[in-house]
C-alpha cells in the first residue's frame, strides 16, 4: 500500500484488536502529533507558501481526526491516557538530514511514509475490529490519510526534482521496512 515495502505483522493485528482502548488512546495522540508536525513545518518554512497552505489544511484535518478519536474514547466510557509513544516515528525522524536542502525533502518524505503506514494500519483495523461503528470510523479515515500521503509527496515535487523525490522516497521506505519489522507488536498504532 502506498509504496510500503513490507506489510504489517499479523501478530500486531491480534494484539491491536485485543487492546482497543490502548490503540484508541495511542491513535488519538498520533493524530495530535500529526497536527503538531504540520504546524512545526510552517514554523520552519514560513516562506514556502505552497507548503504553508497545504500544512494549514492538513493540520486542521488531523485536529478533526483527534477530536473524532477522542469522542470514540469517551463513548466507550474511557479517558485519553498519557502518551506512552513508541520508537517508530522517532526512528524515522532520526533519518532526517540535519542540513538543508536535504532536511526539507527528508521531512516531507518521512511525513508521507508515516501517513502511508497509518493508512495501512487503519485498513487492517477496519477489517478486523468487531465493533461496527469503530470499523466504519477506520474506513472513513482511509481516504483522508491517503490524501495526506499525496500532499506531502506533492509538496516535495514542488520544491525538488521528481527523480530526486522518487529516489529518496525509495531509500527511506527501505529503512521504514526495517524499522517496522523490528517492532515487538505493542498495542500502539505504530507498535
- In angstroms, what is the C-alpha Rg of the chain? 16
Q: In sequence order, which ranges of the chain are alpha helices (DSSP H)? A: 10-18, 20-44, 49-75, 88-93, 102-128, 132-159, 162-182
Work out how close the CB of 152 gets to Fe ion at its nearest, in angstroms, rounded to a whole number: 9
Query: Which triple of cell numbers denotes residue 151?
Result: 500532499
* Binding status of residue 148 toward Fe ion by CB under 5 A: yes
Work out how close the CB of 116 gets to Fe ion at its nearest, in angstroms, rounded to a whole number: 10
In this complex, which beta carbon is closest to Fe ion, that of residue 45 or of residue 138?
Answer: 138
The interface region with Fe ion, picked from 49-57, 71-79, 107-115, 176-184 by CB under 5 A, is 107-115
Binding mask 65-94 toward Fe ion (x if CB under 5 A, else -) reads x-----------------------------
- How far is it, in rounded angstroms, from Cα 54 to Cα 187? 31
The interface region with Fe ion, picked from 8-16, 28-36, 85-93, 98-106 by CB under 5 A, is 28-36
Q: Where in 114-133 is the site for Fe ion (CB under 5 A)?
A: 115
Work out how close the CB of 98 gets to Fe ion at its nearest, in angstroms, rounded to a whole number: 25
In this complex, which beta carbon is closest to Fe ion, that of residue 65 or of residue 186?
Answer: 65
- How far is it, in rounded angstroms, from Cα 92 to Cα 173? 10
Work out how close the CB of 5 gets to Fe ion at its nearest, in angstroms, rounded to a whole number: 20
- Packing angle, helices 162-182 and 132-159, rounded to 10: 140
- SS3 of 191, please? coil
Task: Give the total of residues touching Fe ion (CB under 5 A).
Answer: 7
Of 92, 130, 117, the C-alpha closest to 8 is 117
Q: How far is CA 86 from CA 24, 163, 179, in A?
A: 14, 32, 11
Among 26, 54, 145, 176, contact with Fe ion (rule: CB under 5 A): 145
* Binding status of residue 62 toward Fe ion by CB under 5 A: yes
- Residues of this chain that interact with Fe ion (CB under 5 A) are 31, 34, 62, 65, 115, 145, 148
Amino acid at each position: 500500500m502506498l509504496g510500503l515495502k513490507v506489510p504489517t505483522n499479523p501478530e500486531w493485528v491480534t494484539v491491536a484488536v485485543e487492546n482497543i482502548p490502548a490503540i484508541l488512546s495511542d491513535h488519538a495522540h498520533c493524530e495530535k502529533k500529526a497536527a503538531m508536525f504540520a504546524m512545526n513545518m510552517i514554523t520552519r518554512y514560513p516562506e514556502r507558501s505552497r507548503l504553508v497552505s497545504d500544512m494549514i489544511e492538513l493540520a486542521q484535518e488531523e485536529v478533526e481526526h483527534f477530536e473524532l478519536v477522542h469522542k470514540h474514547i469517551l463513548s466507550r466510557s474511557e479517558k485519553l491516557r498519557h502518551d506512552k509513544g513508541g520508537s517508530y516515528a522517532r526512528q524515522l525522524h532520526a533519518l532526517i538530514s540535519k542540513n538543508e536542502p536535504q532536511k526539507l525533502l527528508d521531512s516531507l518524505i518521512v511525513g508521507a511514509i508515516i501517513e502511508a503506514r497509518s493508512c495501512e494500519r487503519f485498513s487492517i483495523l477496519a477489517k478486523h475490529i468487531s465493533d461496527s461503528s469503530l470499523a466504519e470510523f477506520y474506513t472513513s479515515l482511509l481516504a483522508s490519510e491517503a490524501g495526506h500521503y499525496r500532499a506531502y509527496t506533492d509538496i516535495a515535487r514542488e520544491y525538488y526534482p521528481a527523480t530526486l523525490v522518487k529516489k529518496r522516497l525509495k531509500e527511506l521506505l527501505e529503512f521504514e521496512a526495517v524499522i517496522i519489522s523490528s517492532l515487538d507488536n505493542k498495542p500502539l498504532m505504530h507498535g
